[in-house]
A = this chain, B = another copy of it.
Amino acid sequence: MKLTTLKLVTIVAEAVLQDQIIDGIQALGAKGFTLMSSEGQGSRGRRTGEIPGVNIRIETLVSTELAEKIISYISENYFEHYAVICFLTDAQVLRGEKYC
């Protein structure tokens, strides 16, 4: 079976950032994405009594090169002022050319 290894980029961010992050990753070249809602709490949010906030979780399957562009974009634009998480995992797909 001919599987291609791509990168799954996962971004978890405050819901208010949804549209600008989706626009940003599509402008960089991502051809599709999956969007889920989530709750969460990070190292910025551990004040006593705080309730976890509403977040979005975006996934996109891309080449390693594009994955690194996306993680740089997220880091440069959001890490300083927002509680955004971005991580890459290896994912194997059939027909990898669809994603590149």
Contacts and interface: CB of A to CB of B under 8 A. Distances in A.
A21 interface: no
A57 B85 contact: no
Interface residues on A, range: 35 or more
A77 interface: no
Q: How many copies does the complex hold?
A: 3
Interface in A32-82: 32-43, 45-46, 52, 55, 57, 61, 68, 71-72, 75, 79
B85 A32 contact: yes
Given A43-B98, A68-B1, A95-B75, A8 B38 contact: no
Nearest to A44: B32
A34 B3 contact: no
Nearest to A93: B87
8 contacts: A32-B42, A33-B41, A34-B38, A34-B57, A36-B38, A36-B57, A75-B95, A89-B92
